[in-house]
Structure 1
């Protein structure tokens, strides 16, 4: 089939613009609009709720995030009217599972994306014993989704092996899109010396934000900026109170992130778990220096790794 005839529906649980997965699909859909007949994104949004977005509840342990429930009737009506050739879901999640159920009910092919190392995350948050139980449940859900889908897509080589082990058929490696703001905004020249260093992303355990705060404390000669939100927000705010060289911006729009990157010379991505690390690619698009940990999936792309500084142990 000619791609110009394709109709694609994305059903995503991640809140629009609030984390890497949410931003990934938001950017991907914006680029696909020029290349396919129709593309729709069903995704919760804090500012402009989607018509298929229903009630929500706070996520335990993270007051900055909410768990949204889909309106099944509205989503079913959208699928019936659109008649997509494929439904794309990241799993597992409530939106994803409902999208998967509708697709299976009506015989629509499903593509599952695999962008999160769930086993590593549950170990960080829940400890070894609970992680074993939660990880087993997540693996069972993933296996169910993979076995009922036509294909799976992931964003780094190491996760292809994980997808195969979880039962994915024909897993494919796909790139990461960039929002137009990072490409179309004229680039500000990089300063000759390092004066400002930034971190942009979720303030959560897997991001290892503590190491960035420690770096700021050890280098009073430099200015440090943090942009993002998450369960560790209070820790960042507390660090700012006792530091003259640390600034916290909270959650930022895409354009604000561009301005922060342009103002700084170095972006540090200190994550202990990071399937890709889109913000590193965004910083490279702004021609900034980028330091990553070995855990970041972007390091597995040779053409991109050549432009990164990967931390030693």
Structure 2
């Protein structure tokens, strides 16, 4: 069974109330999210930080159980091929006590790592409804990073743990339809296609007007093979009249910096906080996301919220959302970043202004519908 139509519910704190039959009283709806992603270090890490903010504004008690690099009593293992990404073990006694005190109604596991599996264990122990989310096709990424032996071990683990989470979930949330077949094969009984929320700093801070021309291009994300950042550097070499900003960190950072060493129109910013990234977006005219593998592409939605169109590779999941298409530009499969930029550079000023306005409106609309959709979904699966 597939559910992907967000219900138009009023944005009211009453949505966050749930009645407990035993007590015959109403209390705020309580949700516990379990994630192995570090806060704001990737798309999944940012997604649930933003979602929890909006849920709390609707009266929902939303807690996020996830690793923190500065916490003690945990083991940190760098992932093969990308030492900037770490797998951390949870402090089980501390999280167990925190969970027991929160008494959540619903548990949602976001990742197939130790934290996600702990969420399933606690949900079964305390009799909570259990849902899970499937954000990334890790098996596809393993082909880029790991040797055949490591890949076989990693994929065996991922298939097993994802199957356990999917089979025990009342519903598995995905962010584009292309993932439905994968999670059904893993044992999902029901799937829901969910939208993507936005951080307050992308919505609430006044925007700068778009210049209605193309002078400054931004790439933001992990500097990793699947992101095709080398094609952005190649475009900078071919288009010296355009300034390029590259924000983020990852295994390819040093190599990319060497490739761009002689390019005065390229600047590397490293990892930026969300407010810092928002400020950089406001200085740019266009975001580029040429990824070979992109489940959704949250950074493109964030740029749209700032009134900046986004040039996104054709295969990215964000293109599956019809309401966002007016704010997106498509880099086709046979185009390089250079060719695509030359094409969009020719857009008239009036079309740039129209796209900038449509991008902002579409991002705001999807954010509101996503929060309402999440509350409706959780209430539907209460025990």
- Return the TM-score normalized by structure 1: 0.93
Per-residue Cα deviation, 1:19-44 (whole angstroms, up to 9, x for no partner):
11100011111111122441111122
The DSSP-based 3-state class of the residue aligned with 2:192 is strand
Q: Residues 240 and 248 of structure 1 are in contact (CA less than 8 Å); yes or no, is this contact kept in structure 2?
A: no
Higher relative contact order (CA 8 A, sep 6+): 2
Matched, 1:271 2:266: no
The DSSP-based 3-state class of the residue aligned with 1:33 is helix
CA distance in 2, matches of 1:2, 1:176: 19
CA distance in 2, matches of 1:213, 1:287: 24
Q: Note the C-alpha offset of 1:127.
A: 5.3
Q: Residues 7 and 36 of structure 1 are in contact (CA less than 8 Å); yes or no, is this contact kept in structure 2?
A: no
Unaligned runs of 5+ in 1: none
Matched, 1:151 2:164: no
CA distance in 1, matches of 2:178, 2:16: 29
The DSSP-based 3-state class of the residue aligned with 2:165 is helix
Q: Tell me the residue number matched to 2:38.
A: 15
CA distance in 2, matches of 1:291, 1:128: 34
Unaligned runs of 5+ in 2: 1-13, 18-27, 335-383
- Return the TM-score normalized by structure 2: 0.77
Q: Tell me the residue number matched to 2:316.
A: 296
Larger radius of gyration: 2
Equivalent position to 1:6, from 4, 29, 36: 29
Equivalent position to 2:131, from 108, 111, 136: 111
The DSSP-based 3-state class of the residue aligned with 1:197 is strand
Matched, 1:286 2:299: no
C-alpha RMSD of matched pairs (Å):
1.9
Alignment of 1:152-231 (within 5 A): 152-231=172-251
Q: Residues 81 and 146 of structure 2 are in contact (CA less than 8 Å); yes or no, is this contact kept in structure 1?
A: no
CA distance in 2, matches of 1:288, 1:160: 30
Runs of 4+ in 1 over 6 A off after TM superposition: none
Aligned residues: 310
Quick one: structure 1 residues 142 and 300, their matched pair in 2 at CA, closer, same or farther if it must change by over 3 Å? same
Equivalent position to 1:79, from 96, 99, 102: 99
Q: Tell me the residue number matched to 2:255.
A: 235
